[in-house]
Structure 1
């Protein structure tokens, strides 16, 4: 189908359903949602002949940012749909008009105008917008999100007030980022995209009161485990068995204390290895990419390059080549 009223600039693609006959608008919008968000079962909240919608989309490196406005609708993604069309990313919305109800992970959240809320494309969800709504949506690859917010999976369907200081700052940055006149893969776009995710993580951490452990004993064990892992990142032979032996806890306890942050010991270790690699590459030292990989516990250079690109949106050699 030819996209109606589609306009394209260097940074933005805008799609509007208004040019279509009324009978075709919702079916068209259903395909737009599947292509640019994630495949789901979508239904209009009222008369489909009265439905209208528009979206302005851009990319900031690996991060997607959309300005969206539609008539009321509901959307659900089942386990069957997830198996049929897997998609591994998080979405975060900030409403400028309307309300939304979202259910995921056994939680039900009411998102009011100005609020932020997050959901996970790899888990079933139900979203209902009973009337017209508008706002901005961030699409963040799972690896990027978990690198900055390891407990993101535990944060879905938890509204965050946009009236908080961090919420106001994030709202302003989203608005400014939407209007940036930079190419989608430019270094500036990539840095802005990752900065948005950093601020998002800080806003959710401060605004929802999430803590890394629910009692002092678990907090102490978690700190001990993290300290040992950080001291041994260079060792490519580290596995969960080595962690259990050196930290002095059972495998079950080790997994439980990291689960309180929505992650696993091994996943957390890989995040730290990638973070350290990034720090070394941007430090301006006389390094080769292979040296950095080995210093951070990677023995497979191809795996290192792929993992680094997934986490930071650029290949490691790109950072090494930039002046600092």
Structure 2
């Protein structure tokens, strides 16, 4: 497939925003359970939620550049009964609204206790709003991943690993962002977020590596025979049937060599996983916020390469017919 950079930025940016929110809410839950020290509502949770919203908004803006008729974007939500894309279009603003409400309540300090459970554990309003936002967050991960995983004829995408990778990569980058943010605003939580960022990055390496191995071993169901409906043992294409390119050759094939794809794969493995883990470990050891910020920047650059490869590796069956351009 031909990777669209608007979609690459959309999926990676909202992934960071989703992961960052999950990190913030996890920190609040742990502090309520007295595992972590409480933090300043306005500075940490309020500004942190605002930062998550910035990532989500940038992703939303990036998606506009993929639309041929942006003024008709509202129609994309009309097929929510059958389309994962429509569900994503609905869930994304809902999640953004709940994140805004969660951060706003913290920032304004309006967080009444609604009740208690167990041994006097107070249930604040922000815990309820955060729980709803968490459900919306995972629904958004599911919808975004299933847009691609539900396309059965693209065998590289048609696997539950697609959704799992979206969740883990978003979570890893979000917790890395939370570690960098905490280093400047809540140092007591830096180790917690950084440790989980390393764990999630290693889990993402395991599942993404499994996907790479799986895709390399795929036996594609479509062949030149099925592409043109001729059951001859030997079929060789000498031309695509047109003098120039077409929509099919522009939108469904990236035009890069196999060597280029291998290079992107190694760049992705180094920048998304290897270097960030080293930088996170170093940043936590020497308590350097700058190193943690660098880990986030490197990992995000790697995520751009990862998402480009995700699209480029999908072999659309129509490319069998248009293989000789």
TM-score category, normalised to shorter length: under 0.3
Q: More relative contact order in 1 or in 2 (CA 8 Å, sep 6+)?
A: 2
Structure with a larger share of its residues in strand? 1
